[in-house]
Structure 1
Amino acid sequence: MSDNEKSQKPEEVDTPNAIENSTELNENQTLESTSNAEEETVNSVEDANESAESEAIENSTKTDDQDEVLNEIDESNAEDAEDEGNKDRHKIEVKEYDTMSLEALAIELERLVATEKIQAIRNHVNSINSEFKQKLQTIIDEKKEDFINDGGNEIDFYFSSPVQKRYKDAYKVYRTKLNEHYQSLEKNLKQNLQDKLAIIEELKGLINVEENINTTYKHFKDLQERWRNTGPIPRDKYNNAWNSYHHHVELFYDFLHLNRDLRDLDFKHNLEKKLLIIERAEELSKDDNVMRAFRELQELHKMWKEELGPVGQEHREEIWERFKAATKIINDKRHAYYQEIDKVYEKNLEKKLEIIEKIKAISATGCKSHGTLQKKIKQIEALRESFFNAGKVPLKLNEKTWAEFKEAVRTFNRQKNSFYKDLKKEQYHNLQLKLDLIKVAEDNKESDDFETVTPLMKKIQSEWKKIGHVPRKDSDKIWKQFKAACNYYFDRIHAKRNAASTEQVEAYHKKNEFLNAFKDLKLTEDKTKGIELIKEKIKEWHALGRVPQDKRYIDAKFQKATDQLLSHLDLEKIEAEMIKYENKLDVLNAADDDHRNLDNERVFIRKKIDEVKSQINQLENNLQFFTNVEDDNPLVKEVHNNIKLHEESLELWKSKLRKVKDLY
């Protein structure tokens, strides 16, 4: 008999009544007629009991290298036996946690805790927790490096996020539920173990009782039922308890040789059930869904061991070898499946290593501009996403691959941080330049010297545009401050212009009416009174004020009308010209520009005086060529006339200059 066969559990056959009927025992039959034979059997069983039990327990601890899969199945079933809800773990989907984001991991943990048995999700939660911690630590390391590069002190660094809190809350609920479950489970496990040990003790006593065999058999079946209905026991006690129980079940069946019909009926029933299990295992060996077949195989082994008892000695080795053969086929297919998975993992590893090399290549080109760096950041983010979606790699290389990936990303981040650290220095310099411009704008925004300050304001606005970027946290603030100072100044100009514009429009309308009346002015024959009247009208004209820029043509019309009136007074040319010039000076003097227009006029007159003097000198020099020519020579006469005209012009310009000086 094999070690596994020795640890089989008999299953109750049909019903006790059916068993009693099948044995055809007469109710009048008593133990008296069989007492001698029973006593002999009991003695022989007792003699062998201690050594047989010791041998069974010893054999159960041996490891068969060729049947490693059987040990794996037994261990898994022992785990399920400790916590009956644990077997549901096979039914819960194991997702690709390594490809999930922090938020997705938190949501998945919340779902598992809320919808699944708490004891069935331990492996799932452990995988989720490992991935979450790993990814969160990567983010924290990056944030910490950025913080230090920005000038922060490492001891002052702190990082938290809503998803981190959400995950902690879900994990706390999981731990609380798990602790509550295990506290309750521990208490029940201990009590169930005591109950099963008591059942074993009762089994030991069955072969020593003096009662009707039917009564003893019914007691035996009741003990089997109690054993099945007793809940889970500690995992580390599972195999020894089962081995001891099955050992005493077999001893009882040996004791039943006095009533072979009862024993053979059980053997037959167990053989039928085990053959069905073997047939199902052989069907599973052809199933393409390897993992599903292996999980069901575990259940079949559990049934074989826990729910069925022994079969006839002549069948034990044969059916066990047949069951092992089907088990080996399924297990070989499972190993082949894992080998295929390993190939997939190897390909995933190649992909991830290629991604790491691409990240390194991007880092190797350096950072030269903000625009280029932003493109690289997007490339790195895409590669990170590809890395996470590339799938699992062989477990033995997982840590190494992850470490290489993190180091490649960190190298890029260090370059990025170094670039922006230098950029920030430049930005702070730019910030100071713009603050200086703000001071200029605010110092001059109340000025009334519009002629001087307006060009200055336009200049600093132009300089502002040429200065580069400033730190983002200051950008909006200083722009609003600068814009407010400039707007305040130009709003004042516009307000003044708008007020002046109304007055000028009104002045235009008045001048237009005045001009129409001036054109119809009738002068007396008295020249002196005529001059005085014209001068008076000129003063009235200037008193009406300035007109809008686009209406300045009306001044030219008034000047033309003045010339026409003066032409009727028979005035000398210089006298008439000076009257008109006085009109012009009055216009220049009326401008509110701190004599700037008068200064320009004076400079202009001096220039004209110099030009006329130069022309006179040139003409006089030309006369030197006519020393032997008579004065009535046409050419000589022309030169003398030109000199006379220039001298008259010179006198006029000098008179104008005196008028200008009189206004200072």
Structure 2
Amino acid sequence: MLEEKNDNLSLHENQTDGRTVNELQETIQSETTIVAETEISDAAAEENTVNPVSEPVLSNEVEANENQNVIDAIADSNAEESEDETLKERHDIPMLDYEALPMDTLVEELKNLATNEKVMSVKEHVEEIKKAFLAKYNHLIEEKKEEFNQENQDPNEEFQYHSPLKTKFDQYYTLYRDNKNTHFKSLQTNLKSNLEVRLAIVEELKELINPQANIKDTLKHFNELRERWKNAGSIPKDKYNHVWNNFHFHVENFYDYLHLDREARDIDFKHNLEQKQKIIARVQELVNEVDINKAFRELQDLHRIWKEEIGPVSREHRDAIWNQFSELTKKMHDKREVLFENQRGTELENLNKKKEIIAAIEVLATEKVNSHSQWLAQIEKVEALRTAFFSAGKVPSDVNEDTWLAFKTAVRNFNTFKNSFYKDIKKDQNENLNKKIALVNKAKELQESVDFSATTPIMKQIQEEWKQIGHVPRKYSDKIWNEFREACNHYFDKLKEQKNEENVEEVEAFDKKKAYLETLREFQLTGDHKTDLDAIKLHIETWKSFGKVPFPRRHIEGKFNKILDALFEKLSLSKKDTEMMRFANRMDHLSESNDTRKLDNEKIFLMRKIEEVQNEIFQLENNIQFFTNTKNAKKENSIVLEVRKNIAIHKESLDVWKEKLKQLRNMNQG
């Protein structure tokens, strides 16, 4: 009997320079007949009573066992295909090195297989794609989660990551799984009924052995049973060999027990022998086929044809032709084993490559660098090594999990080492975040202020401080910047609106002052000191009441001051009074313009002048003491008199400076 074992073969369409399986099948179907018209002679009937025939036993015990193991493997594979005929088509689709493909390509491959191919033809392909995709995806999730844990400061916030590729993968895998379930549901419905049909055919075949029946009708019935058997459909694989053995046994019984005409039987035996010789010739060609997997797949089909579609041969040829077929099968199997050994060698080479890659990542996980740019270079190296790892190809299955675990551990250690560097940066960024939050709050508090003279410098200072603060965590960067910018823009937009309103008033003030200058130029003093002084003061108050003028037109203030200076000179005022009135007018102008910087500078200037004059007076007084302590102290000379005169001038000047400072301080307090 031909029994087989499922070796998970990679199966391909069977086509070589010789005759293919399909061609042999067509020949067998067209030529296989049993000559039913031949009459049976009694003598022939007596001669053709023989014992049931089973498969020959090989003389060499060891060789027989080896050959039988190979035959068993093929028998099991064909049994599986008998249950689901779509398995015969799996060799149409090449098995790619899915582990080396990127995630997006894996999704496209899955989409193509799930939508365009028969579900059982791609079973192994889909499972390999699933394993490769999930390995890469889970590795990606681990890295994203680690990044999240490093950046996230809120312990209550849960990690979430959405991958469009994973969504597509799940969509196509669900489609494949639904198709598979539908396929199996339909398959299970048919398997049981097909099994019952085949068992019924075997029972009918038993009943054919009836010496009293008409041979012509019996042969016709026999051919009908063989045709029904061929079209009976798939049955469960665990029943396949048993049911086929029963059928084959009773077919041989039909040949051996039924009293056939010797000539008709010999013709049929000869025809079957020719068909099996054609199969052997084809296997001899397959032994030299370059594509070993393809050749072995065709060999499986030839075994199925040998068993299911070709009848027995005469006893004298049975052992020889079977032994020839099984020995050629063993040769094919041995070539296939050599191929597997070569593949295992390639997998060991891939394993060494991956070990080298893992070792390189482990080294990078110990190289200490101290700048962000250097870490970017290290990260780029690891990414290149990751790509090389996934492109290195398959490794032996018994070390695949350990290799993958070592790779993940090396990458994780590198990320931990990298993150230790960024922890300090994260700490600084969080401190920067707190500083910027404080500035945002301050800006929001001031954004509605209408005290523009006091608030504007503060807002500008806030903006300068913001520029000096470093980076904040990327998660908060855009949000906090938008809040700060909105608060600042809100305030300065209000300031701009206020200035636009003031500009209108300033232009009006300029026009009024320009017209008033003409009136002032025509003003004439009366000669009465008090009357003239009151009139000048009134002009000053009137001028002030007009308000500020646009900055580019402030030259008009100078013109007004020149007219005032001319009027003061005509008055019989003391120098101090004149100086103080001019000073008061100038300070009022600065106060109206809200130029606090110039007012502060004026205050500093006055304090310095007071200190300088006091030092001068102190020095002059020291000099007077030097001269008054001499023998001629009673009679002061011209030098002493000059010094005393200078002291008096400085004291008068000191009084003016002090008065100015007092007036300025009173102005600030007001």
Q: Is the TM-score greater than 0.5?
A: yes
- The residue aligned with 1:222 is 224
122 and 481 in structure 1: CA distance in 2 versus 1, 3 angstrom threshold = closer
Instruction: Say if 1:437 and 1:464, in contact at 8 Å, map to a contact too.
Output: yes
- Mapped to 2, the partners of 1:245 and 1:232 lie a distance apart of 15
Per the alignment, residue 204 of structure 1 pairs with: 206
Distance 1:145 1:648, change over 3 A: closer
| Shift of residue 288, structure 1, vs aligned partner | 1.9
CA shift, 1:364, in A, is 1.8
Structure 1 residue 465 displacement after superposition:
2.9
Alignment of 1:130-529 (within 5 A): 130-142=131-143, 150=152, 161-255=163-257, 259-365=261-367, 368=370, 370-416=372-418, 423-446=425-448, 453-515=455-517, 518=520
The verdict on how the C-alpha distance between 1:69 and 1:507 changes in structure 2, with shifts beyond 3 A counting, is same
Residue of structure 1 aligned with 2:618, choices 597, 614, 617: 614
Cα contact 2:67–2:330 (8 A) shared by 1: no
Give the match for residue 582 of structure 2.
583
Following the alignment from structure 2 to structure 1, what is the Cα–Cα distance between the partners of residues 153 and 575?
82
| 1:544 to 1:127, Cα distance in 2 relative to 1, 3 A | closer
The answer on whether the counterparts of 2:79 and 2:237 sit within 8 Å (CA) in structure 1 is yes
Contact 1:619 1:643 in 2 (8 A): no
Cα deviation 1:264-293 (Å, max 9, x = unaligned): 211222222222222222222232222222
**What secondary structure is seen at the aligned counterpart in 2 of 1:465?**
helix
Which deviates more, 343-352 or 197-206? 197-206
Per-residue CA shift, 1:351-373, capped at 9, x if unaligned?
22222122222222357555544
The offset of 1:476, in angstroms, is: 2.8
1:490-549: CA deviation from partner (whole Å, max 9, x where unpaired): 445444444444444444454455446655666567777766665555554444444445
Q: Conserved in 2, the CA contact under 8 Å of 1:542 and 1:587? A: no
Q: Would the aligned equivalents of 1:13 and 1:266 in 2 still touch at CA under 8 Å?
A: no
CA drift at 1:630: 13
TM-score, normalised on structure 2? 0.79
Closer, same or farther: CA 404–604 of 1 in aligned 2, 3 Å: closer
Letter in 2 for 1:585: A
Shift in Å, 1:186: 3.0
Give matches, 1:532-611, under 5 Å.
537-564=539-566, 571=572, 575=574, 578-589=577-588, 591-592=591-592, 603=607, 606-607=610-611, 609-611=613-615
C-alpha distance in structure 1 between counterparts of 2:564 and 2:324, whole Å: 137
In structure 2, give the amino acid aligned to 1:614: F
Residue 602 and residue 503 in structure 1: after superposition, are their counterparts in 2 closer, same or farther (change >3 A)?
A: farther
TM-superposed deviation, 1:80: 1.3
Give the SS at the match of 2:35.
Answer: helix
Cα distance in 2, alignment partners of residues 121 and 141 from structure 1: 30
**Aligned-pair distance for 1:589?**
3.7
Q: Look up the match of 1:647.
A: 648
Contact 1:148–1:154, Cα closer than 8 Å, also in 2: no
1:19 aligned onto 2:47: no
Richer in helix (by share): 1
Cα distance change on mapping 1:425 and 1:237 into 2, 3 Å: same
Q: CA deviation at 1:441?
A: 3.2
Shift in Å, 1:408: 1.6
- What is the one-letter code of the residue matched to 1:603? M
Change over 3 Å in CA distance of 1:506–1:323 after alignment to 2:
same
User: Does the 8 Å contact 2:119/2:176 carry over to 1?
Assistant: yes
Deviations 1:156-205 (A, max 9, x none): 77766554454444444434433343343334323333333333333333
Distance, in Å, in 1 between the alignment partners of 2:157 and 2:623 is 94
Structure 2: how far apart are the matches of 1:442 and 1:360? 50
Distance 1:15 1:428 in 2: 88
d(CA) in 2 for partners of 1:496 and 1:333?
95
CA apart distance, 1:317? 4.0
Shift of 1:96: 2.6
Q: 1:130 to 1:626 in 2, by over 3 A?
A: same
CA deviation profile, 1:201-252 (whole Å, cap 9, x unmatched): 3333333332343443333333222222221222122222222322332333
Distance 1:241 1:418 in 2: 68
8 A contact 2:614–2:654 mirrored in 1: no
Structure 1 Cα separation of the partners of residues 317 and 610 of structure 2:
141
> Where does the alignment leave 5 or more consecutive residues of structure 1 unmatched?
26-30, 57-61
* Unaligned runs of at least 5 residues, structure 2: 4-24, 58-62
Mapped partners of 1:482, 1:111: distance in 2:
51
CA-to-partner distance for each residue in 1:538-580, whole Å, 9 max, x for gaps?
A: 55444444444554444444444444555567x5xx7256325
Query: Structure 1: how far apart are the matches of 2:68 and 2:480?
Result: 78
What secondary structure is seen at the aligned counterpart in 2 of 1:287? coil
- Give the 3 Å change call, closer, same or farther, for CA 563–189 of structure 1 in structure 2: closer
Structure 2: which amino acid aligns with 1:265?
I
Tell me what 2:69 maps to.
68
CA distance in 1 between partners of 2:626 and 2:504 (Å): 58
CA distance in 2, matches of 1:589, 1:151: 56
Range with bigger deviation, 445-454 or 123-132: 445-454
One-letter amino acid of the structure 2 residue matched with residue 466 of structure 1:
Q
**For the structure 1 residues 38 and 475, does the alpha-carbon distance in structure 2 shift closer, same or farther, using more than 3 Å as the test?**
same
CA deviations on 1:370-428 (whole Å, 9 max, x unpaired) are: 55444444443333232222211122221221111122222233445555566544433
Q: Distance in 2 between matches of 1:409 and 1:656?
A: 78
Q: Is the 8 A contact 2:211 2:259 kept in 1?
A: no
Alignment of 1:102-121 (within 5 A): 102-121=103-122
RMSD: 4.3
Q: Letter of the aligned partner of 1:613 in structure 2?
A: I
> In structure 1, what residue type is equivalent to 2:584?
L
**Using a 3 Å threshold, how does the CA distance of structure 1 residues 275 and 364 change in structure 2: closer, same or farther?**
same
Separation in 2, partners of 1:615, 1:519: 46
Deviation of the 1:582 alpha carbon: 0.9
CA distance in 1, matches of 2:391, 2:639: 104
Out of 190-199 and 372-381, give the one that drifted further.
372-381
Q: In structure 2, what is the Cα distance between the partners aligned to 1:618 and 1:551? A: 50
TM-score, normalised on structure 1? 0.80
Identity of aligned residues (%): 40
Contact 1:85 1:120 in 2 (8 A): yes
- 1:661 deviates by 5.1
Amino acid at match of 2:358: I
**How many residues end up aligned between the 2 structures?**
633
Q: Distance in 2 between matches of 1:321 and 1:576?
A: 143
After superposition, the Cα gap between the structure-2 partners of 1:40 and 1:207, relative to the gap in structure 1 and judged at 3 Å, is: farther
Contact 2:90 2:122 in 1 (8 A): yes
